[in-house]
Structure 1
C-alpha cells in the first residue's frame, strides 16, 4: 500500500540497518565491504548536514576507512557525497544526498567524537551497533526552541546595531524586529519550507516589526525619524556566515565543487534577503542613512565594543545550536578579534578589508589556542566569532542603490563588501596554515 501523498518525500530515507543484517554479532572489521562503506558514507553525510566543509568531511571518512583497512575516495558538495570504497579488487560506490543544509555545532561535536573514538569501537562493535549510535546522534535535535532562537537573534542583532554605529533607539527596535524574524524563520524551518520562502518572509517580517516599533516610539515619545537608519540591522540574523567561511576554506584546499556550491548558496541567501528588504524599504518609504553620532570617547567606545561584540557573537553561536559554554568561549574570542578590527580602522587608519583580515586571523589563532581546553571543533569557535564581521549593511546598501539605478554608489558599497568578504576566510585560512600542519599540505 502506498503512503498518503503528504507523507511522500522527494528525498527518500535510506534503511541503513538493512546493510548490517548478515553480520549482527560480529565486529565491523569482519563485515563485508558494503557494510563498512555504509558506516563511512553515513558518517560523511551526517557531518555534511552539520554545515562543516568538504575537507573535514573527507578527513573523517578517511579516518574510518583506515581503521577498517580499506581505501575511500570522495567527491563532496554542499548537499551530496559520491564516494567509492576499495578493498583489494572489490569496489563499492554510493551516492548520498541531503534535502537541506543547516548549521549545528553541537551535532558536529558529537559526530567528531564518534570519529575520534571509532578506532576503539570498531573492533568490538558491529555495524548494526554503530548505526544505532549514529541513529542516536541523528535523532537529537536542537537545544533551543524557536522563541529562544528569536531571543538569541535579538541579542546578536542589537549588538550588531551598536557596532555599526546605532544607538539605544535603533538597538531596541532591532531587538524586536530581529527576534520576531528569526523566531518565524525557526518555525518555518521546522516545517521544512523552502529556502527562498523562509528567507524572504522572515526578513520581511523583521523589517515590518522594526518599522512598527519605531513608529510606536515616534508617536509615544516623539523620537526622530532619523532612527530608521537601523532598519536593515533587524535582518542581519540571516547572514550566511558558515557557508561563506567554509566556502573559502574549501576553495583554499582546492575542493572546488564544495567551495563554489557553498558560495552560491550564500549568495542566494544574501540576494533574496537584500531584495526582500529593498522592496519593503520602497513600500515603507525608508532609505539607508548614516547613524546619529553617539558622542563616546575612545575608552568608552572600546569598552562598549568589547561588550557588544561578546553578546553579538554569543547570540550568533546560540543560533548555530552551540551550548552555552561554547557560545561564551566564542563570544570572548569574537570580542577580542572584532574590537581589534574596529580599532584598527578607527585608530590605525587601516582599510576595512585589511582590518577584517587581521581580525579573522586573530580569531583563528585564539581559537587554535583554546579549542583543546574547550573540547569543541575549531570551526565551532572561529565562524561565530567572525560572522559579526560580515558586512551585511554594505551589501544591503549596494542592492538598494543599484535598485534605484544609483549604480556608482551601489558599486562602491558592493566593492567594499566584497573586499571584506574575501578577507575574512583568508584570515582564518592563514591562521589554520600557521597552527595546523595537516591543513598546510595539499596531499
Structure 2
C-alpha cells in the first residue's frame, strides 16, 4: 500500500511513467522467508525430517499470507504484475551492474541474519559471483531456471567450503545469505496472482518455476557439501 500511494503521488506530481507500478512486487520480496526454505531443504537432505518439515511449513505459511495479501492489494488498487521493461544495456555493463547489486543484496541479507560485518562482506563477495553466474546462465546460455539455480548454489557451496578452511567462518553463515537472493519471490507472487484470477495455466507455470528453483537451491548446497566434506557423506 505504501508503494502504491507513493507511485500514484509521483505519477500525479512528477508525471512518472505507469511502467513503474510493477515495482510494488519488489517492495514485498523481503517478506518471502528464504532462510527457512533453504535450511529446511538441507535438514531433509540430512534426514532431519522433523526440523525440515517444521521450517518448510513455517516458510509456506508466510509465503501464502504474503502472496495472498499482495494479490488482494493489487486488486483493490488495480495494479497488475506486468513484466518489467527490457533494459537497454549492453551485456558487459549488465554483468557489472548485476555483480554490484548482488553484492549489496547478499551483504544486506547477511546483516539481517546478525552476521558480523566481515562475515557479511565475505558472503557478499561469494554471492555476487554466484548470483550473476545464475542470471547469465539463464540469459546467455538459455539454461532452465532450476538448473541455473542448482549451479549457482553449487558454486556458492564449493567456494564457501574453501573460505571455511582458510578463514574459519561457518559454512552455513556464508552459503545461505549468498543464495537467499536467488529465492524466486516474484515467481511465487505471480503464481498466486494468476490463480486468484482463475488463470490456472499461467499461475501453474509461475509456481512450477518457483518450486523448481526452491528445490534446486538446497540441492546445490548439499551436492557441494558432499563433494567437499567427506564426513557429510555418511550418517552420524
Q: TM-score, normalised by structure 2?
A: 0.97
What is the match of residue 320 of structure 1? 113
More strand by share: 1
State the Cα RMSD in Å: 1.0
Secondary structure of residue in 2 paired with 1:439: helix
- Report deviation, 1:209: 1.6
What is the match of residue 387 of structure 1? 180
What is the match of residue 405 of structure 1? 198
- Structure 1 unaligned segments of length 5 or more: list them: 1-207
What is the match of residue 341 of structure 1? 134
> Of 1, 25, 37, which aligns to 1:232?
25
What is the match of residue 23 of structure 1? none
Distance 1:274 1:429 in 2: 28
> Of 138, 145, 148, which aligns to 1:352?
145
Distance 1:377 1:333 in 2: 14
Distance 2:162 2:208 in 1: 33
- Report deviation, 1:260: 1.1
What does the per-residue CA deviation read over 1:171-217, in whole Å, with 9 as the maximum and x for residues that have no partner? xxxxxxxxxxxxxxxxxxxxxxxxxxxxxxxxxxxxx1211221222
> Of 379, 401, 418, which aligns to 2:211?
418
Q: Is the 8 A contact 2:103 2:127 kept in 1?
A: yes
What is the match of residue 294 of structure 1? 87
Distance 2:230 2:33 in 1: 28
Q: Is the 8 A contact 1:233 1:393 kept in 2?
A: yes
Q: Is the 8 A contact 1:309 1:334 kept in 2?
A: yes
> Of 281, 284, 288, which aligns to 2:77?
284
Distance 2:120 2:167 in 1: 11
Q: Is the 8 A contact 1:326 1:374 kept in 2?
A: no
Distance 1:258 1:290 in 2: 37
More helix by share: 2
What is the match of residue 104 of structure 2? 311
What is the match of residue 57 of structure 2? 264
- Structure 2 unaligned segments of length 5 or more: list them: none
- Report deviation, 1:348: 1.0
- Report deviation, 1:230: 1.2
Secondary structure of residue in 2 paired with 1:438: helix
Q: TM-score, normalised by structure 1?
A: 0.52
What is the match of residue 221 of structure 2? 428
- Report deviation, 1:431: 0.6
Q: How many residues align?
A: 236
What is the match of residue 216 of structure 1? 9
> Of 34, 38, 48, which aligns to 1:241?
34
Distance 2:114 2:32 in 1: 16
Higher relative contact order, structure no. (Cα contacts within 8 Å, ≥ 6 residues apart): 2
What does the per-residue CA deviation read over 1:46-92, in whole Å, with 9 as the maximum and x for residues that have no partner? xxxxxxxxxxxxxxxxxxxxxxxxxxxxxxxxxxxxxxxxxxxxxxx
Q: Which moved more, 1:355-364 or 1:280-289?
A: 280-289
Q: Structure 2 matches for 1:136-155, cutoff 5 A?
A: none
- Report deviation, 1:412: 0.6
Secondary structure of residue in 2 paired with 1:338: helix
Q: Which moved more, 1:367-376 or 1:217-226?
A: 367-376
Distance 2:139 2:213 in 1: 16
Greater Rg by CA: 1
Q: Is the 8 A contact 2:163 2:169 kept in 1?
A: no
- Report deviation, 1:442: 1.6
